[in-house]
Every structure is written in C-alpha cells, then in structure tokens.
Structure 1
Amino acid sequence: MQAMRALLLTTIGLLATQAASGAERVTLPQPFSMAYYESWDEIPVALGSATRLAMTPDHIDVQVLGFVKPDLVYRGGLDLTETGLQAPVPGPVLADAIRALKGRAPAMKVLLAVGGSGYVDGWHRYDPGALARLVTDLGLDGVDLDYEPAKPDCQTAEARKGSTVVCRTDLTWSRLIADTRAVLPRPMMLSIPAWSTGAYGTGAFQTEPPGGPYTGSMLWLSRDREAAAAVDLVTIMAYAAGPSYDPERAFAAYRAIWDGPLALGLIVPPDPTGQPVPGIDAIRDLAARLKDQEQAGVMVYGMLGTPPSGPSAATPSGGMMLRAVCEGFGRDGCDAVLP
C-alpha cells in the first residue's frame, strides 16, 4: 500500500508540474526587490494593522514570511501552534496583517517560506497539503521552497569525467517542486532560494572559488526542464561563502542556467564567514547595475535585522539596505521606513 501511495503521489505531482509548466510565470516588476520578514521579531500586538509586517514599505515587491517546518501540522482555523512559524501573534492577527498589507500594496507578492537553515530536517515528512491550507487561510500568494540539505552529495564534473555536476539532491528538488505544484498550481507563486555556489562547477565557472560541497548543487535548473518551468523565481543566497566569493560573478553563473526572475541576495552584517557585506553606497550602486538587466532583482535577508554594533552607512540594517536598493533602482517612495 505504501509503495502504491508513493507512486500515485509522484504521478500526481509530475502531472501538476507539467500543468504548471504550461502556465506563464508570475510577472514581477523590472527590476524587483525582495525581503525576508523574520516572524519571530514581530511586535506582539492585538491588531494586524499595528504589526511591523503590515507596515512593510510598498517599494518592496516580494515579501517572504519565515519560516514554517516542512513537516508542519496544520488542520485549519489559523492555529499556528504546530507549524513552526514563530510569530508572537495569533494566526487571525497575522492574517489581518497580511490583508492590511495587501490592501495598501495590492501588487506586492507575499509568500510563506518553508524550511530554511532552522528547519533542515523533516523534509522526508514534507506535507504540502498542510502547507497549501495554511497559505490559503493566511491569504498569501504562494510559497518560498527553502530546501537547504545538510549534505547535497555532489559529484564534480572532473570526478564523473563529464561536463557537469550531479547531486543526490537533484531528484529531491524535482519531487518537492512537483508535490508543491500539485496543491499550489499557478497563479500561486513558487520561489526557491539557491545556494551561493550552486551554479558553479561547469563551463566558464567550473573552477570558480570558493568551492565546497554545495558547488553545482543547483545545476539541475539547466537539466530538469519540468521542475525549472514550474518555478517562478530563483533567489541566490549570495552570502556566508567566505572572502573569496564574488556575488556578481555568482549572479552571472546563475543567469547562464536560468532565464527567469533572478534575485541577488544580501545579508544584514556581519557575515558569519567573513565575506564582505556592502555598505549603503555599494548597495545603491549594485542595484543601479542590476536594474537594466532583464528580470533581475535584489533580495535582503532580513527586513527587520540590525547589526549588533548598531546600524550605520557601513553596517546597515535591513531597512536601510532595502531603501538603498529602492534608490539604486531609481524608484519613488524610498523614504518609507520600517517601524
């Protein structure tokens, strides 16, 4: 029975992926900005309109709520108890906050992140049905599928005597995307965060530093056409990779394998690996360089973050970084600040 059920779920998932592949990707502004909202840093208030989430500046195009567990338990009624979401407000208040935000900024896409570095286990018990129910009840626009495997088990092109890197997790990505699309077809949005070095290991980027076990772990994007076509947005986690890592070089590597919306991710300083974090002027210049590239954007993790030493032009907060991105894009309304 278990084998038949697994086969049925896989078949349904593949059919859904094919259906999603036939639909058009979600349209984002060009360029676009993206932010991760740290639910645990929310203010414990009684009204959704009084939350920091509801006050997200409307120059942000994609807002991502972090994080729920892959094996979340959600039966309905906006009961967040067993979902892993750490917001210090009840589910109905969170849903009211999302309604207030989308009422003020209707074009903004608001997604729910599942997984992340805090929930690396539990993917073998992934429950896309529970996730879909929660997304629907909260009034969200889709999911950020943040699968961060502890060991991708990649084989380099050189070791394989081939032209590309192949990883054990390639099939897992395919299954997770198919299972998610089975319950959240388009127009629901599906974004995926991508490892810093995930597009390295082949072609002009075969020996790109810094190397490591995640090199090539996202090259499936160039091979698995069905899975890639079901994705709306790829976000590069272009941080925590060490001093030799070049984020813009990584952006070029991902652009070589992915033609859809692509965001270059920044982290609120300090970087845990000693990788330089750009200051306000450098972020503004980076956004200005990306704004003329097709389907390009900038992501900031996280929106509510503040450096331990305090925010400054050299060590900006998440809100300051997002404002600099807005200014680099040449937009209006960049003065909107987080509460």
Structure 2
Amino acid sequence: MAIAVSGDGAASGVSTWAARLAGADLLILGPAAQGSPVLATVRVPVVSPFATGANGGLALSGAWLGTVLHPGRAESFRLRVLEGNLSVTGTISAPGGGGDMVLENVDLPFGDLLTLSSGLLGVGAGNDSARGLQLALKGAVTSAKPDGQRFKVHWDSWFERPTPAYPEQLYLTTIPAYVGTVTLCFGRPQFLYESLSDNVYATTGLQFDGTGHQLRSALDLLRMRQPHIRIALAIQQGGKLGFEPYDWKGWAGMHSGHLASIRKFVDDMGIREIDVDYEAVSSSMDSDKHCMIQPDGDVRCFTDGELVRVVKAFRDRFPRPQYTLAFDAYNTGAYFGPFSRQKPVGWNHGYVAALAKDPQTRDALDVINIMSFDEQEGYDPVRALEAYSHAFPKAQVYLGLRSGPPWHGSNKMSLLNCLDYINATIGLGTAGIWLYSMLWDLGEPTPPYSVAHPDSNMMAMLAARQFQLPDADKPLVAGLSDRLPALP
C-alpha cells in the first residue's frame, strides 16, 4: 500500500530512501479525535536498518524498538527523517486490516516494548517516485524481558557520613542487593598512597574521612552483606572544568609511580575494576582546542594523543583477567562514522573516535559507561547507546542516568525518560544502567521529587524492577524516597 510523503524531497530509488530513513524516529500516534497523541517513539537503527529483500525491495533489519509512554489505541504513524522536514505517514491496523503498519495489539499498554520485527520498503512505479513509496511494517508489543542486565552506581565520597570508625552506619555499606557494581569517586591521577595507615583523602583524592584501614573495613562489610557486589575505583582529573591535556597537574603529570600507587591501593582494598574518567578539556573555546569534524567526515580532537596514552597506560598496569578496565564516555563522543549526522553537535562530538579507531586501545576497554546526561535539545541517550555499542562491539556498554538537578542542559530526566532508556538497554541487549550518582540528592537536595523530577532512589528502584533484580523495592539511600511512585 502506498503511503503519503510530504516535505523536502522525492527520492529516486529504494536505496536512497533507505539511506534517508536510517536513524529516523517513527512516532506512533493515537486517535485523531484526541489530538493524535504520541503513544511511543520507535527508533530506526542508524546502521543497516534495511537488508536486501524480495522483488528489489529492502527488508527490515536491526532492532526497531520504543517504549509505550502514553497508553492508548494506535491509529497512525509519522516517520521523521534525521535531516530536513521530510515526513512519511501511514495508518495502523490489527492483523487482517489494511494498514501500512500491522500490530498484533493496537491497544498499547504503558511501559511495554513496541518492536517492529518485519517489514518491506519499496518504491512503486510512476513519474513521482516519492509518492510511490511503499513501506509495510509488522510489529508486536511485549513486556521488557531482561537478559542479564545489571545496575551499577557511582558513590560520591564527598557526601558520605563522616563516621569512618562506624562502617555499619555508612551509606556505602547499606547498598541493596540489586546494585551489581559500586564505583568509588573520585581518585586523582597523581596517587600518593603507600599503606593502609595513610589518610585516604590526602593520598588518593577520595574524600573519605579516614584511613586505609577504615575504608578497607567498610568495603569488607559491604562485601559480607552483598557477596556478589563488584567494587570499582574511578580516576578523574578533578578541579574546575578547563584543565587541558598536557597540563602538568593533569594526566600528563601522571607517571609510573602514580600508577604503582593506584595498584597498591586497589590491591589493599580488594578492588578489581578501574574506571578511567578522562574529562580533560581546553579552557579555550577556540575550535582547534576541541573536536573538529574534518571535510572527509572524520573527527580529530585536541585530546586524542593523551587520551590514547592514558587508556593504554592503565591497561598495561591493570591487565586482564585480574582487572577490568572501564571508561566514562562523553554523551556524544561516539558520534562519528555512521553516526556523524547525529545531533546535537558540540565540542565533544566524536570525542572517543581516537580510541575506537585504534584496535589496541578499543579492545583494551572492558566497560563503557556513557555519561548520557541531559544535554542540549534534541539529544537522545538511546542513540548514544547505539553509537557506543557500534564503536566498541566487545565492551559491556552501560547507559547513564543522572540524579540531582539538570547538568549541562535545560532538561531533567523524568522517570518516564528513565523507563524508556532502561527498556532500550533490554531491547538492544546491552549491559545495563549506571547511575551518577548515589548521594547527590541527599547532599544537595532539590525537592519536591516526583515522576517528573525523580531522585536517585526512584531511578534505582525503577531499574531494579525492570531488570528483575533482588530487593527491587528497597531504596538505594536512606533519607530519600522510600518507594517508587505510581506510573501511568
């Protein structure tokens, strides 16, 4: 059945249409009588959304999925391409109907995954090939069924209770069972730690008010209470945003002695995961001090050389299989190659291209934590998840949620947004969700908390529920919300 096309262009053939539709958003609309509300947004894959089909057409390929965030009866759809004002529209029907999209259940229940599993794109004969576009889709609505997804959280040491002599009273030691990994934040690159008798803050940068003995006691208690838990240490340059690469106070000032000190500390603490949180940027806003898209579409960044050197140095010092190496990645950092058209375009657009293009560095990373926090208008964390999964196919990729107030952008993640992102990790089969951070809402509260403005407990309990993890009804932190609010 031919469907309507409006906007900026006639396409000459099916391959041209396939290229234009890659990375599009497919809006599932409700009844026109109710103002055609958007029931769900289905994301078309950027990489290979279509494969060779029958009779010169192209068949669906990859995962086309979205979360139903507004329940109702689906009646039509609008497919928006990434660039321009082109819009493709069609109707929806149940099996046996005559719609351009056929759903097994056109009554969409809240929170379920809407997956398009088959379909065919073709271009009909005629003088106007755009009007001859044919797109037949079939899909199903199912509850999200997790497959080993994990939840991890960053512990902000500066908001911890200042009572290291009583480890049973620390927030760190009362983490519920659904947390798979807790990351201690933040050690500085220039570690000076030598022994368990050292003051932790003075020698590592972790703002824990006690000695190595006291921190080890707390971690031992945590492991006794949650034997499955993995403990990681994050290393971050720290200081005000503006520390440049090659600054002697930053990563360029880090030498083998500092790495040996980190190794001594993690071994004393029983830590087996190192998290490189390299966020060195230039204080200058000149374009040649950040990431630049080259005329050939490639990306070059001011940080490339140092970033590659830092990752390789940590992998050499912390080898497999004894240690896992993680990397905290900027939100739009994997927007290069097939994802170079993704929006928004900012100073960190393609930030990790140097890591991904070097096979040794790319394969050195076991875990990617996407800092997919609120950004400029138009940023979609699920696209970032798709991009990083493509750039680092061997790594466990986690999508990040952020507690506290909005950070770099004006948008705050709502609990509905979080549900969409959590479901996306299930639908795409990625590693899971991580939260930054555990204690922000306690240390710098911004009440009142609600579905539109969730705290860290709401986000954590929602992820635990969707991933079907133990103790999902228990709050992450005492003193914040003690239950998950009702969703539509």
Identify whether the pair has TM-score above 0.5, normalized to the shorter chain.
yes
Partner of 1:128: 259
1:35-50 equivalence runs, <5 A: 35-45=153-163, 46-50=165-169
Partner of 1:333: 471
Measured in 2, the distance between the counterparts of 1:195 and 1:188 equals: 23
Matched, 1:112 2:230: no
Partner of 1:185: 319
**The one of 53, 57, 73 aligned to 2:176:** 57
Partner of 1:24: none
Matched, 1:31 2:142: no
How far off its partner does 1:111 sit?
0.6
- Indicate the larger mover: 124-133 or 60-69: 124-133
How far off its partner does 1:54 sit?
0.9
Higher relative contact order (CA 8 A, sep 6+): 1
How far off its partner does 1:61 sit?
1.2
Measured in 2, the distance between the counterparts of 1:278 and 1:241 equals: 10
Distance 1:285 1:199, change over 3 A: closer
Give the counterpart letter for 1:154 in structure 2.
C
Partner of 1:67: 186
**The one of 219, 233, 244 aligned to 2:367:** 233
1:76-95 equivalence runs, <5 A: 76-79=195-198, 80=200, 81-95=202-216
Measured in 2, the distance between the counterparts of 1:166 and 1:263 equals: 25
How far off its partner does 1:78 sit?
4.5
How far off its partner does 1:264 sit?
0.9
How far off its partner does 1:240 sit?
4.4
Distance 1:182 1:258, change over 3 A: closer
Measured in 2, the distance between the counterparts of 1:78 and 1:180 equals: 25
1:116-195 equivalence runs, <5 A: 117-118=238-239, 120=243, 121-126=249-254, 127-151=258-282, 153-158=290-295, 162-186=296-320, 187-195=322-330
Matched, 1:243 2:377: yes
**Secondary structure of 1:319's match?**
helix
Measured in 2, the distance between the counterparts of 1:222 and 1:84 equals: 29
Matched, 1:303 2:425: no
Contact kept, 8 Å, 1:47 with 1:96, in 2: the verdict is no
**Secondary structure of 2:418's match?**
helix
Contact kept, 8 Å, 1:266 with 1:298, in 2: the verdict is yes
Provide Cα deviations, 1:251-280, integer angstroms capped at 9, x if missing partner. Answer: 111122111211111111421333433323
Distance 1:172 1:328, change over 3 A: same
Partner of 2:340: 206
Measured in 2, the distance between the counterparts of 1:177 and 1:272 equals: 26
Partner of 1:258: 392
Measured in 2, the distance between the counterparts of 1:164 and 1:331 equals: 41
- Structure 2 unpaired stretches of 5+: 1-146, 244-248, 283-288, 479-488
Distance 1:132 1:106, change over 3 A: same
**The one of 396, 401, 405 aligned to 1:270:** 405
Provide Cα deviations, 1:274-310, integer angstroms capped at 9, x if missing partner. Answer: 3433323432343133224333311111011214224
Contact kept, 8 Å, 2:177 with 2:470, in 1: the verdict is no
Give the counterpart letter for 1:32 in structure 2.
R
**Secondary structure of 1:207's match?**
coil
Distance 1:78 1:266, change over 3 A: farther
Give the counterpart letter for 1:249 in structure 2.
R
Q: Normalised by the size of structure 2, how large is the TM-score?
A: 0.59
Q: Normalised by the size of structure 1, how large is the TM-score?
A: 0.84
Partner of 2:485: none
Provide Cα deviations, 1:124-166, integer angstroms capped at 9, x if missing partner. Answer: 12221111111111221221110101136333132xxx34212
Give the counterpart letter for 2:253 in structure 1.
R
Cα RMSD, aligned residues only: 2.0
Contact kept, 8 Å, 1:41 with 1:87, in 2: the verdict is no
More strand as a share of residues: 2
Measured in 1, the distance between the counterparts of 2:379 and 2:149 equals: 24
Partner of 1:26: none
Contact kept, 8 Å, 1:286 with 1:328, in 2: the verdict is no
**The one of 314, 320, 324 aligned to 2:452:** 314
How far off its partner does 1:319 sit?
2.1
- Indicate the larger mover: 275-284 or 105-114: 275-284
Contact kept, 8 Å, 1:116 with 1:148, in 2: the verdict is yes
Contact kept, 8 Å, 1:243 with 1:273, in 2: the verdict is no
Contact kept, 8 Å, 2:376 with 2:408, in 1: the verdict is yes
How far off its partner does 1:314 sit?
2.1
**Secondary structure of 1:82's match?**
helix
Partner of 2:428: 293
Larger Rg: 2
- Structure 1 unpaired stretches of 5+: 1-28
Contact kept, 8 Å, 1:221 with 1:258, in 2: the verdict is no
Give the counterpart letter for 2:223 in structure 1.
K
Provide Cα deviations, 1:190-220, integer angstroms capped at 9, x if missing partner. Answer: 10000111011332x2232221221111123
Partner of 1:18: none
Measured in 2, the distance between the counterparts of 1:255 and 1:297 equals: 12
Partner of 1:19: none
- Indicate the larger mover: 176-185 or 276-285: 276-285
Measured in 2, the distance between the counterparts of 1:118 and 1:328 equals: 36
Contact kept, 8 Å, 1:264 with 1:299, in 2: the verdict is yes
Identity %: 28
Provide Cα deviations, 1:301-329, integer angstroms capped at 9, x if missing partner. Answer: 10112142243332122122111111122
